[in-house]
A and B are shown apart, each in its own frame.
Chain A
Amino acid sequence: MNGPVLLSRYAENMLWLARYMERIENLARLIDVNETFVRLRTVMNGWQCILDINTDSDTYFLRHEKINGREVLSFYVLDRDNPNSIISMALAARENARALRPIIPTEMWTHLNVFTNFVRDLTLADIAINHVSSLCARIKEGCQTHAGIMEGTLFRDQAWLFHQIGKHIERGDQITRLIDIKYQALLPEPAMTGSEIDASQWTAVLRSAAGYHAFRRLFPNDLTPASVVGFLLKSHGFPRSLATSLRQAHHAVHLLRSDYGFRDASEGLEHVENLRNLVTGVPTEEIILAGLHEFLDGVQDGLASTYNAIARTFWPFD
């Protein structure tokens, strides 16, 4: 089951196309939930936390003096000098897709083209605070359409597997950041744990990951930090949980080795396996006691190592 050869450059572009689209969707989710937090008025550092999560404070303060919703939103949606803005990432996704045009379906390219043009035409009026939620919804929809076109039309050879790997590495990374936004930035005072505010914030996190209703079905009477964090990290059924992302990434890397005979894929596989053990091996309560932020940092490092191993194996030339 070898199929056509795949240029190394295409493999790299495919992985990054998937990463950018996943990152755009998650940023839209993050902005959406953050906007909700800000409206709760119980949050001291408002828009600061989104900068912290993405470690973007330095970049931001290069050209901004203070933090407010309008400027942070502009920084994350419209600012072409910010490589992590929606517009920059949409353009980057399209550049990857442009390079991939020989092997991706026309429908996929057309959609990315339309999506990028939509993002490129956004103005300050579109990020007015009362429009943020609907804007985020449209951006999410754009990313989901991409995923749907991928699922329905992209030829299933190794190029597809690299897309899968990119998507799930990124999704895994992003869920750890979403948990961190709540844990690290929103609730510096442990005393508030278990309060009503705490509960509503956790609910917002779950909603932003589209996991609230599933969580409720699983834990009708148990909305605690441990249950929510456990759900987001370990649920096997929830499509955006870390465990699910790792399982999918593992499956894709494994297929590169088994079906395409790439023995060197083993190195990447090992990194994913270590991460899976890390996530399943320790109960959530213990993770929290030992320091959730440090744990999440460790997961992010592990995902970066996985990416590096894949890059070394499949596009080693640069």
Chain B
Amino acid sequence: MKTDKGSDTVPLFDGYRHGGFFCELTNDHGAKDNDAATVIRDRLAGMTSGVLTERARSAEAELYNLGITFTVYTERTSIDRILPFDLIPRVISNPEWVCLELGLRQRVTALNRFLSDIYQDQEIIRDGVIPADLVLKNPNFCRAMIGFRPASGTYIHICGTDIVRDDSGRFLVLEDNARTPSGVSYVIENRRMMRRCMPDLIADLDVAPVEEYGGNLRRILAEVAPEGISAPQIVLLSPGTYNSAYFEHVFLAREMGVPLVEGRDLRVLNDRVYMRTTAGLQPVHTIYRRIDDAFLDPEAFRPESMLGVPGLMRAYQAGHVTLANAVGTGVADDKAIYAYVPRMIRYYLGEEPVLENVETHICAEPEALAFTLDNIENLVVKPVGESGGYGMIIGPHATAAERDAFRDKLRDDPANYISQPVLRLSTSPTLCGSRVEARHVDLRPFTLTGKSSWVLPGALSRVAIREGSLVVNSSQGGGSKDTWVMAS
């Protein structure tokens, strides 16, 4: 099979260059010689690329056979693809993690306070911290939620926070995912795979376990069940087997030991939710839903939705069922609101943010607008209402004419834009073919909140497989790595 005998026997890190970016494994973190990253680096350095390539091949075969796949549909067939998995872990030292964990709790707490506020008293708007229009005219602001208080006042039960690391090694929040964040199943499956494929790498290291996620998820979902229910029936509501994240839905339902239901399995009678079982209709109390707001209930939202449950919103508003996450959380993870999260933290908690945002200029503010207009060639300017990169300009890649045209748009409607410097994501050594090369990574930790918050000591590290690429999304060829959070 292998033709390049020479490179098979080359030690892994020979010729490795991180190209001036912050490297997650080889940069000096200011730690001592015996820290985990050093140990891991030394152990890896003792392996050859041939050994690693062989192990990678068997890992991918196993993922494929296990059906840990997402499905790509074409006109006639469906193809099951695995998320490319890299065997070189990304390491986070214990002091780094302690800080991340603190920052994540703080941020999620502020976001929950914000949602509770804007759907009830709207003090943050009255106090002039956030412009009213940004919230009340936001397409993700859900009128049906006004005046309704969900159990325990928690809106974002499951939060996935996208974090990047800049050249100086600082962790910065790029995005909050407060609707139905996915990816946590890969965190746990990647660890299982690493224990099987790289037992010699992880041996004796004090890596924090990630296997407790399912138990904690179940616990917080029980905590937020409607009051007076002693043994709540929890279910996970999935769009079904054709959803690209179906594997994760199965995984989480199994880890929690709860039924995985689809909309057609549920029925609302007298504002109460039931599931159809062989023993007839059985009551349901907490729904971890992996369906977007718009598809949840054809009576309340999109009437054509076949995925949802007619009457679910009525049951929710009557307090007979808890939805996690709550309806209407999208307004909190919106790009426009994102820029205000540091101010939110100061406003609600009276604390300085532990985790900073990526430097963001809110063009609605005159100074920020002036700065953006003057520096557009070095900035990324994004419209706040759009997602998926539509309507944005990447200054350094645009022509002078494009920049001028964009300046006009900015002056016409400054409130619709934010600007950020072009990101320089950190890199991590990654097996590419038979060589180890630097590839950009991000980090998505998961925070669970019932009556209080818990952060999974681990995270999804997504890696951009293409050289130089900053796109880590699985739909665009991104892969993942196991993230080793050191417990000591």
A residues contacting B by CB (< 8 A) are 2, 5-9, 11, 95, 98-99, 101-102, 106, 109-110, 113-114, 158, 260, 262, 314-315, 317
Q: How far is the CA of A95 from the CA of B277 in the complex (A)?
A: 20
With A9-B276, A98-B246, A317-B276 in contact, do A106 and B66 touch (Cβ < 8 Å)?
yes
Residues of A close to B277: CB separation below 8 A = 5-8
Q: How far is the CA of A110 from the CA of B80 in the complex (A)?
A: 13
Question: Are A7 and B261 neighbours in the complex by a CB distance under 8 Å?
Answer: yes
Residues of B close to A110: CB separation below 8 A = 65-67
Q: Which 10 A-B pairs have the closest CB atoms?
A: A102-B260, A101-B250, A102-B253, A5-B277, A113-B67, A8-B276, A98-B241, A314-B278, A6-B278, A11-B278
Question: Are B282 and A5 neighbours in the complex by a CB distance under 8 Å?
Answer: yes
> Contact partner of A9 among B65, B66, B246, B265, CB < 8 A?
B265
The residue in chain A whose Cβ has the minimal distance to the Cβ of B258 is A102
B170 within 8 A of partner (CB): no
Residues of A close to B264: CB separation below 8 A = 9, 317
Residues of B close to A260: CB separation below 8 A = 278-279
B254 within 8 A of partner (CB): yes
Residues of B close to A2: CB separation below 8 A = 279
B333 within 8 A of partner (CB): no
Q: Mark B225-268, 1 if CB is under 8 A from A, else 0.
A: 00000000000000011000010001001100001111011000
> Contact partner of A5 among B66, B246, B250, B259, CB < 8 A?
B259
Q: How far is the CA of A244 from the CA of B276 in the complex (A)?
A: 32
B464 within 8 A of partner (CB): no
Q: How far is the CA of A158 from the CA of B277 in the complex (A)?
A: 11
A-B contact pairs, 14 of them (CB 8 A): A5-B259, A5-B279, A6-B278, A7-B276, A8-B276, A98-B67, A98-B246, A101-B260, A102-B250, A102-B254, A110-B67, A113-B65, A114-B65, A315-B278
Q: How far is the CA of A98 from the CA of B279 in the complex (A)?
A: 23
Known contacts A99-B241, A114-B65, A158-B278, then 15 further A-B pairs from the complex at CB < 8 Å, ordered by chain A residue: A2-B279, A5-B278, A5-B279, A6-B277, A7-B261, A7-B276, A11-B278, A95-B241, A99-B240, A102-B253, A102-B259, A102-B260, A109-B66, A260-B278, A317-B264
For residue A75, give the distance in angstroms from its CB to the closest CB of chain B.
18
The residue in chain B whose Cβ has the minimal distance to the Cβ of A5 is B277
The residue in chain A whose Cβ has the minimal distance to the Cβ of B262 is A9
The residue in chain A whose Cβ has the minimal distance to the Cβ of B233 is A5
For residue B304, give the distance in angstroms from its CB to the closest CB of chain A.
20
For residue B101, give the distance in angstroms from its CB to the closest CB of chain A.
31
B residues contacting A by CB (< 8 A) are 65-67, 240-241, 246, 250, 253-254, 259-262, 264-265, 275-279, 282
The residue in chain B whose Cβ has the minimal distance to the Cβ of A113 is B67
Question: Are A8 and B241 neighbours in the complex by a CB distance under 8 Å?
Answer: no
Q: How far is the CA of A101 from the CA of B253 in the complex (A)?
A: 10
Residues of A close to B254: CB separation below 8 A = 101-102
Q: How many A-B residue pairs have CB under 8 A?
A: 61
For residue B402, give the distance in angstroms from its CB to the closest CB of chain A.
47
With A9-B262, A99-B241 in contact, do A262 and B278 touch (Cβ < 8 Å)?
yes
Residues of B close to A102: CB separation below 8 A = 250, 253-254, 259-260
Question: Are A262 and B261 neighbours in the complex by a CB distance under 8 Å?
Answer: no
Question: Are B278 and A8 neighbours in the complex by a CB distance under 8 Å?
Answer: yes
The residue in chain A whose Cβ has the minimal distance to the Cβ of B69 is A113
Q: How far is the CA of A137 from the CA of B380 in the complex (A)?
A: 62
Residues of B close to A314: CB separation below 8 A = 278
Residues of B close to A262: CB separation below 8 A = 278-279
Q: How far is the CA of A120 from the CA of B379 in the complex (A)?
A: 50
Residues of B close to A98: CB separation below 8 A = 67, 241, 246
- The listed residue with most A CB atoms (<10 A of its CB), out of B66, B260, B276, B277, is B277
Q: How far is the CA of A158 from the CA of B278 in the complex (A)?
A: 9
Residues of B close to A95: CB separation below 8 A = 241
Q: How far is the CA of A98 from the CA of B264 in the complex (A)?
A: 17
Q: How far is the CA of A101 from the CA of B240 in the complex (A)?
A: 12
Residues of B close to A8: CB separation below 8 A = 265, 276-278
Residues of B close to A113: CB separation below 8 A = 65-67
For residue A218, give the distance in angstroms from its CB to the closest CB of chain B.
40
- The listed residue with most A CB atoms (<10 A of its CB), out of B260, B261, B275, B282, is B260
Q: How far is the CA of A2 from the CA of B275 in the complex (A)?
A: 17
Residues of B close to A7: CB separation below 8 A = 259, 261, 265, 275-278
For residue A2, give the distance in angstroms from its CB to the closest CB of chain B.
8
For residue A50, give the distance in angstroms from its CB to the closest CB of chain B.
27
Q: How far is the CA of A109 from the CA of B265 in the complex (A)?
A: 22
Q: How far is the CA of A33 from the CA of B277 in the complex (A)?
A: 42
- The listed residue with most B CB atoms (<10 A of its CB), out of A2, A98, A106, A109, is A98
The residue in chain B whose Cβ has the minimal distance to the Cβ of A107 is B66
Q: How far is the CA of A69 from the CA of B261 in the complex (A)?
A: 45
Residues of B close to A317: CB separation below 8 A = 264, 276
Residues of A close to B65: CB separation below 8 A = 110, 113-114
Q: How far is the CA of A98 from the CA of B246 in the complex (A)?
A: 9
- The listed residue with most B CB atoms (<10 A of its CB), out of A11, A102, A106, A317, is A102
The residue in chain B whose Cβ has the minimal distance to the Cβ of A318 is B264
For residue A94, give the distance in angstroms from its CB to the closest CB of chain B.
9
The residue in chain B whose Cβ has the minimal distance to the Cβ of A95 is B241
Q: How far is the CA of A38 from the CA of B261 in the complex (A)?
A: 49
Q: How far is the CA of A101 from the CA of B68 in the complex (A)?
A: 12
Residues of B close to A101: CB separation below 8 A = 67, 250, 254, 260
The residue in chain B whose Cβ has the minimal distance to the Cβ of A109 is B67
The residue in chain A whose Cβ has the minimal distance to the Cβ of B76 is A80
For residue A118, give the distance in angstroms from its CB to the closest CB of chain B.
11
Residues of B close to A6: CB separation below 8 A = 277-279
For residue A68, give the distance in angstroms from its CB to the closest CB of chain B.
26
For residue A82, give the distance in angstroms from its CB to the closest CB of chain B.
15
The residue in chain B whose Cβ has the minimal distance to the Cβ of A99 is B241
Q: How far is the CA of A197 from the CA of B24 in the complex (A)?
A: 76
Residues of B close to A5: CB separation below 8 A = 259, 275, 277-279, 282
Q: How far is the CA of A315 from the CA of B264 in the complex (A)?
A: 12
For residue A16, give the distance in angstroms from its CB to the closest CB of chain B.
14
Q: How far is the CA of A109 from the CA of B67 in the complex (A)?
A: 8
For residue A6, give the distance in angstroms from its CB to the closest CB of chain B.
5
Residues of B close to A9: CB separation below 8 A = 262, 264-265, 276
Q: How far is the CA of A207 from the CA of B282 in the complex (A)?
A: 48
Residues of B close to A158: CB separation below 8 A = 278
Residues of A close to B265: CB separation below 8 A = 7-9
The residue in chain A whose Cβ has the minimal distance to the Cβ of B78 is A91
The residue in chain A whose Cβ has the minimal distance to the Cβ of B279 is A5
Q: How far is the CA of A167 from the CA of B266 in the complex (A)?
A: 28
Q: How far is the CA of A95 from the CA of B67 in the complex (A)?
A: 12
Residues of A close to B261: CB separation below 8 A = 7
Residues of A close to B67: CB separation below 8 A = 98, 101, 109-110, 113
